[in-house]
């Protein structure tokens, strides 16, 4: 019975840890790479509770995913004149950790 409880607790612990991690993000555009690097630098400069800094970093990376996806769409269609403005808005809004 004790080993069953241990196994259940270990499984629950593993699920909690994997639930806290975001999906890996590999940028496919130069703007996505720049955004991800900036998120990393801002996360190192973050002053606050670890939870707040982690949440800000997660939001920043999610913004980088959007920037990367929009840049890919812009490159594939070449009709997105406003994408540059939208990219910088996402970057400034989601990557401002402090």
The pTM assigned to this predicted structure is 0.56
pLDDT for 51-61, tens place per residue?
A: 899 999 999 99
Question: Distance (Å, rounded) from C-alpha 94 to C-alpha 67?
Answer: 11
Give residue limits of the domains in the chain.
Answer: 26-94
pLDDT for 2-34, tens place per residue?
A: 776 766 666 565 554 444 455 688 999 999 999
- The yes-or-no verdict on residue 96 having pLDDT over 90 is no
The predicted pLDDT at position 19 comes to 47
Mean pLDDT of 39-51: 89
Question: Distance (Å, rounded) from C-alpha 3 to C-alpha 16?
Answer: 20
pLDDT for 74-86, tens place per residue?
A: 888 765 445 455 5
| Structure-derived torsion over alpha carbons of residues 64, 67, 69, 74, reported in degrees to the nearest 10 | -160
């Amino acid at each position: 019975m004790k080993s069953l409880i241990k196994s259940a607790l270990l499984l629950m612990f593993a699920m909690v840890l994997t639930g806290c991690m975001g999906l890996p993000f590999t940028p496919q555009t130069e703007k996505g790479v720049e955004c991800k690097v900036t998120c990393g630098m801002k996360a190192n400069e973050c002053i606050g509770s670890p939870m707040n800094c982690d949440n800000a970093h997660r939001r920043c990376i999610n913004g980088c995913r959007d920037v990367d996806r929009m840049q890919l769409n812009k490159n594939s269609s070449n009709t997105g004149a406003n994408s540059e403005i939208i990219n910088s808005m996402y970057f400034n809004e989601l990557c401002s950790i402090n």
